[in-house]
Amino acid sequence: MGGPARDPVVDKLDEVWTSLADACEDLSPEEWDLPTDCPGWTVRDQLSHVIGIELELLGEPPPPGDGVDRPHVKNDFAARNETWVEARRARPGSQVLQEFRQVTARRLDVLASMPETAFDEIGWSPVGQVPYRVFMEVRVFDSWVHEQDVRWAVGRPGGLGGAGEAVTLDRMIGAMGYVVGRKVAPPDGTVVVWRIGGRVERELVVVMEGGRGTTPSSTPAGPTVVLTLDPDTFWRLSCGRTTAGEVLATGDVAVTGDATLGRRVLEAMVVTP
C-alpha cells in the first residue's frame, strides 16, 4: 500500500521551487550579486531567504546574530529571517543553489508523507492562526514572488501561468478590500475597479458600504475609478516591488475616473510587510 495522498499544495510548492532553481542555473558570480527589487537583497539572498524559512520548518534554529542594523529590516520577524541570509552572503551562489535544492527536496519529502488531516490543523503562520494548508499556500506565494525577483534581476522571464502566479494573484486580490476599506477609507458609495488584462484576465470590484470595503457580485454602474493594468504591475505594486509614481509615469496603469482617488489606491496597495 502507498503512503498518504499528496495534498495539492505540495505540488504547487514543488512547481515553484523547481522553477526558482532552474532560474538560477549557471548564473555567473556577477549575476549572483545583482540587486533585486526586494529591498536589500541580491539574487543570492533570495535563495538564502527561502532556505532559511524551510530549514526552520524542518526544526533547525536560526544562526546567531541579527540583521536589525540593515535599513531594509523593519521588525523582529524580518530580523530573524535576515540571519539566514546574512550567514550565506559570503558563499558562492552555486553552493547556495545546491543547498536550496537539498533543503527543498527534504521539505517536499516531509510534506508528501504528511496525512491529509495534518494540513487541516490550525496553527501559527505569518498571516495568523490558519490551517497548515493555508500556511503552505503562503509559502507558495512567498517563493514565487522571490522567484520573480530573481528572474527580473537576471533577465530570465519564466514561472508564469502556473500555480505560483495564481496563488499570488488570489492572495493579493483578496487583500484589496482591506486596502480600500481601511487604508484608503473613501466615503460610502465609492466603487473601485481593477481590470487586470494580458496573460491573466481578472476584474476586481470593491464598494465602500458601512465604512468597509466589500466585494459585490457584479460591477455597479458608474464606478468611481477604474485601474487597468497587467498582472505583473498588479502583484509588483501589492508586494512593494514598484510604486504608484513609477507605474503612472511609465503608463503601466491607466486610471479612468477619479484620478486623485486612483493614485491614493495605488499608493496603498502594498500589503506585504
List phi, psi (to 5°) of 36.
-120, 175
Q: How far is CA 140 from CA 50, 88, 156, 264, in A?
A: 11, 22, 20, 29
| CATH superfamily to which 175-268 belongs | SCP2 sterol-binding domain (3.30.1050.10)
* pLDDT tens per residue across span 230-259: 999 999 999 999 999 999 999 999 999 999
Q: How confident is the model at residue 1 (pLDDT cuts 50, 70, 90)?
A: very low
pLDDT tens readout for residues 37-92: 998 999 999 999 999 999 999 999 988 865 556 656 666 666 777 889 999 999 99
Residue predicted with more confidence, 39 or 227: 227
CATH of domain 8-169: 1.20.120.450
pTM of the model as a whole: 0.93
Mean pLDDT of 169-179: 96
Q: Assign 219 a pLDDT band (cuts: 50, 70, 90).
A: confident
Arithmetic mean of pLDDT over the chain = 93
pLDDT at 81: 79
State residue 140's pLDDT score: 98
Domain limits of the chain?
8-169, 175-268
Angle between helices 132-154 and 163-174 (to 10 degrees): 110
pLDDT of residue 144: 98
Q: CATH topology of 8-169 equal to that of 175-268?
A: no
Average pLDDT over residues 17-36: 98
What is the DSSP secondary-structure string of 89-146?
A: TTS-HHHHHHHHHHHHHHHHHHHHHS-HHHHH-EE--TTSSEEHHHHHHHHHHHHHHH
Residue with grid cell 519529502, as numbered in its chain: 109
